[in-house]
Chain A
């Protein structure tokens, strides 16, 4: 039991422990999460099993406990109810039994006593009588004595009715006796007649006995004692036992239980001697006999009332009296004898006696009283008690046998019923309890099962979350890890570029590396972006579209100014090497009406085209890849003006017009300076089956699955492209194409920054001025690539420049000889450089210009023939201007040779318009220089020219070096170079006069006439021009000159922060320049800065103030809203604003409504955060029609935050740390309508 209990409690302990394990220590476990991940998994499984097991055990244990409890209760109840009653009843019963038995014994005692008394009395009387008549000689005296004795005895006998008999036997043998028969109610007097007269002689009692005596019996009246009949002689001692002298030999009284044949019950007889004198001899013996019948009677009465059995035995075991009617005597042949109790006819008495005998062993032990309970006699249980009555002569034993039923019957019955009821009740309770436990625990186990499941689910979810966290973390780390070294590489390259002692080749190489590194960095960023992106298909209006979904929100496009043309040129440059290796010609054909600067995400645009071009390149083994771009303008005001130009420009692109008509519906958008730019990427590869035109844009799709093997790739490229294009508001599709290959057409929607009209004109001008300058010239395009050649020549022709195309060396020589028939004489003249120059100049004066652009590929570089070819070309050096188009792998020896021969104009492949313009620019400029110099100083020419050449030679590399952000460097330069033209001079004056009247900013125009390149003071080259809206007034002015000034002004507006710096080497210049240009950029703006961190408050304030803006700082969103409320409220408009906290107010001016042009809003602030504040502000604005731009400032770096910012109504998003430039451009783009 004990061990079982312990086991039970052990189990319970385990159970509760396991429960605790399940529920509580989640937090603790989390810490070990990483280490025990695996174990945990298996643990989850075993967890369930163990919990089932423990539930089972718990159930069992509770049931057992309940059973034990109820059992104990039952037993205890039963025990207490029974044992106490039993004990008390037993005590009572013992008393009862004792009492019961005592009464017959007392009766017995009484009988004995009375018998003794009678006997004593008789003895005394007899003594007295006998002494009186003690005269032995006289017969008469004897007779008289007998007579007296008879009377005395009768008197005694009559007084005691219970006596059976009184006898007197005299010494001489005379007997006198009275006898009473209780049954027949007869009383007799029995006497004997003596034969001899010696009545009182001293003869021996024995000899005279019966000798001659004759016995007589007289019937007597029982009341009076009168004799009623005659005496009848009877045989002696027939009726009664006459006590003889033998019974009292020692003179003491003797007791006997006698049996007579006349009575059926035993009787008690006592005998005493009668002595003649004290201590004398015995003269007579008196005997008294009493029937024991009354004892039996009493017993019967008692038993009748109490039930049970009683009997009285002598010490020897003979029954004297009994409560039953069983006979006490048995008739033997020798006469009736007492019956022993063990032989009693009554069964119970017999059995009881036997049991007593067995229990006590022998007779002697009967002297001990026994009290036995629950003695089984027959079929019943009895109490048996025996009492020993120790009389000297007659010890008696009384036995009472009472059936248990009589005493304990009710109790036993009650106990039994109680037990039955208890047991049945406890069984019922047990069953109900078990059922309850089952139900309860089943609930608990269900709950536990659910809980375990829940916990495992939570675990799984947490694991999943953790793994996705790790993924994000990993990506973030990776991006950092990858970008950092790249940034270092680029930085080092920048340093290297700044180094003065690089040779031109080295410089070019480093620049190329720089460019590639940038591209690689960009690529890395893209890869990382895309890897963050999960792509999924979605059915929308029956058309399957791809979506890019950034893990933490939407893909958000940047909106920054960039030079689209420059980006694409850089891209083409980047791919050119690859293309040349593939033997594919890559051509960039951008129409002239393309805006110079657009607002958009340059990285994504480049990504689009990089994908498309690499895709084309992948499938094109020979031929060309053309990237075309043209513009479709939204702006209705300029639309009609532009149309003819467009038509003129895009002769090769008739689609434009139809597109324009198509897009009439989109006119609503056109108010906002939006433009659609169309692009085409054409290749001559294997092409795409028309049925797959749509499918290629889906994820993991390639037109032909087998291409994966040959070309690799994931099939994601085009999907990403399409997503990005859609995101930019355009569309992409594959269109029909003549001939083999693929033609992809896509449109992108860009915003044009600021005054969108300006740049185009500028470009137009560049072109036109060039065209004008070259109108008399002949440009010979000696290029390998058919497509680029034809496109270039078309473009030039369109501009009014005569062009001729050649595709091979022989053709070139042919044309040269045709054009310069007098070349022979020229060759002879050329003996030294100076002379040659002289000749050149003289010739320049005479002949029209002849520009030859030669592809290095025309020369036979594999053998040494190219030197001959160069020599041949040298002949024409003075007559024509040579420009070389080099391959990326053109070896240094060739370049050296070219340089030696005075070919200083070199560009790298591929040749596109910008490069062509550059070449032509250089040519024109040189010519102008010559023209100018002609009249000035001829002696200086050679050195100056040398310088000029130097700079021109470097130009292309500089040109390459600039990235999109400092794109205007070369732009400025080209303008600057243009300035040397006569036309340019006029333009300067014009614009200066016009602008001065209108501009409130600083307009500083460089005086560049006659001074170029490094000889210029760099300071003069800056144009810090802040142009106000008034410039637009010029817009309608026709004519070249006004268009010029306009374009210049326009470009200045847009490129406020650009470096107009030819000299990249000096970073200080750049910075000062940047600062200077920045200083004025936010002039007149009033900005509300809501920021709680003092550091950021200060930084941002200073930044903005440096840029010329006025800043009001508030500490939280609440104040920001308050600050805005006032000006929004018309009544408060005139009041100066003072924020409650008395925050810093730099220059608060009462302004025209609205007071603030822009809000910079930190997202996380006390009291009211940026999101809430923005919502509040937007709510305030509802109905007023105003929309104050709000720029979010946040340290969150995720694009999801940006999405959130934009969602609550913010207009833009800046991350901390604040990038000055980015902030400025953002602010400008949002406030351009105001300034």
Chain B
């Protein structure tokens, strides 16, 4: 495969991820931060995120198994996860986290458990997607191509901060 094909595949996959809301513009910011001095930055951060996820999931599972669920702990964990996921741009995970937290506020155990499942599913999904993306990226780099940042000047960030 030549560079162009790889490039288009990479871009195609990225677009797919964005379209499916796996990613949002935050990831492109991460990509931008990647340069010669930190070539694997995005990969590193995403890996960090998934490691973090494992730990948080473990904590969450344990917290939710308790006979008396401490919703504050759960909430804190989910909050952390929300921060991390939004930082790497995993929008769907972030979204689930938001729902999860609202359940925590209501002390709705059933909802929490449901959210927990959803969270795991979404994380697994996005992990797969990321793996594909990074594989493509590596192939592309190996083939001698460079990652053109598939960044559009995101209109929303121009006008309003989204999370205000």
Contacts and interface: CB of A to CB of B under 8 A. Distances in A.
B115 interface: no
A461 interface: no
Contact of B87 (A487, A1068, A1217): A1217
A469 B106 contact: yes
A1094 B83 contact: no
Interface stretch (B8-16, B43-51, B134-142): B43-51
B160 A1102 contact: no
Contact of B83 (A963, A1075, A1093, A1106): A1093
A966 interface: yes
Interface stretch (A489-497, A872-880, A920-928, A1130-1138): A489-497
B155 A494 contact: yes
A409 B51 CA distance: 101
A904 B149 CA distance: 37
Interface residues of A, number: 52
Contacts of B102: 469, 473
A1219 interface: yes
Interface stretch (A89-97, A518-526, A1003-1011): A518-526
Interface in B1-58: 26, 29-30, 32-33, 35, 38, 41, 44-45, 48-49, 51-52
B155 A1095 contact: no
B156 interface: yes
A1098 B45 contact: yes
A1099 B32 contact: no
Contacts, number: 125
Contacts of B29: 1103, 1217, 1219-1220
Contact of A1098 (B48, B151, B160): B48
Contacts of B80: 1092-1093, 1164, 1195
A1099 B45 contact: yes
B80 to A, nearest CB: 6
A1206 to B, nearest CB: 14
A31 interface: yes
A490 B159 CA distance: 10
A558 B164 contact: yes
A1070 interface: yes
B76 interface: yes
Contact of A1093 (B52, B89, B152, B161): B52
Given A494-B153, A1067-B153, A1094 B159 contact: no
A686 B86 CA distance: 52
B66 interface: no
Nearest to A1094: B48
Interface in A471-522: 473, 483, 487, 490-491, 493-495, 518, 521-522
A982 interface: no
Nearest to A491: B155
A1160 to B, nearest CB: 13
B123 interface: no
A1195 B86 CA distance: 8
Contacts of B108: 30-31
Interface in A1219-1234: 1219-1222
A963 B159 contact: yes
B42 to A, nearest CB: 10
Interface in B77-128: 79-80, 82-84, 86-89, 102, 105-106, 108, 110
Nearest to B99: A473
A837 B35 CA distance: 52
Interface string B145-157: 0001101111111
Contacts of B158: 963, 965-966
Contact of A1199 (B32, B110, B164): B164
Contact of A1096 (B32, B87, B157, B161): B87
Interface string A150-188: 000000000000000000000000000000000000000
A376 to B, nearest CB: 78
Contact of A1219 (B149, B151, B155, B161): B161
Interface in A203-223: none
Interface of A, secondary structure class, is helix
A68 B45 CA distance: 80
Contact of B89 (A518, A1164, A1196, A1217): A1217
Nearest to B46: A1095
A1218 B32 CA distance: 13
A1197 B164 contact: yes
Interface of B, secondary structure class, is helix
B115 to A, nearest CB: 15
Given A490-B156, A494-B152, A1195 B32 contact: no
A1102 B38 contact: yes
Contacts of A1193: 83
A457 interface: no
Given A521-B160, A1164-B80, A1095 B52 contact: yes
A61 B40 CA distance: 80
Nearest to B110: A31
Most buried by A among B38, B79, B152, B159: B159
Contacts of B33: 1099, 1102-1103, 1106, 1220
A1216 interface: yes
B87 A1071 contact: no
B32 A1216 contact: no
Contacts of B87: 1093, 1095-1096, 1099, 1216-1218
Contact of A1216 (B48, B83, B153): B83
B161 A1222 contact: yes
A483 B48 contact: no
Interface string A1151-1174: 000000000001010000000000
A803 B30 CA distance: 55
A1094 B164 CA distance: 24
A1094 B47 CA distance: 10
B29 to A, nearest CB: 6
Contacts of B149: 1068, 1071
B99 to A, nearest CB: 10
A1068 B151 CA distance: 8
A1195 B79 contact: yes
A1215 B52 contact: no
Contacts of A1220: 29, 32-33
B164 A1071 contact: no
Contacts of B157: 1219, 1221
Given A1099-B88, A1195-B83, A1221-B157, A1067 B151 contact: yes
B146 to A, nearest CB: 11
Given A1102-B33, A1215-B163, A483 B52 contact: no
Most buried by B among A1095, A1193, A1195, A1216: A1095
B45 to A, nearest CB: 5
A487 B83 contact: no
A521 B49 CA distance: 33
Contacts of A1216: 82-83, 86-87, 163
B155 to A, nearest CB: 4
Contacts of B155: 487, 490-491, 493-494, 518
B52 A1217 contact: no
B54 to A, nearest CB: 12
A494 B86 CA distance: 25
A535 B52 CA distance: 44
Contact of A1071 (B32, B41, B89): B32
Contacts of B160: 521-522, 525, 603
B164 A1215 contact: yes
Interface string A861-891: 0000000000000000000000000000000
Give the 9 A-B residue pairs with the shortest CB-CB distance, closest first.
Answer: A490-B155, A1195-B83, A1217-B26, A1095-B84, A1215-B163, A1217-B86, A1197-B163, A1095-B49, A487-B156
Given A1099-B87, A1195-B80, A1217-B26, 7 more contacts: A1095-B88, A1102-B33, A1195-B79, A1217-B29, A1217-B86, A1218-B87, A1219-B157
10 contacts: A487-B155, A490-B156, A491-B155, A1070-B153, A1092-B80, A1094-B52, A1164-B83, A1216-B82, A1216-B83, A1217-B87
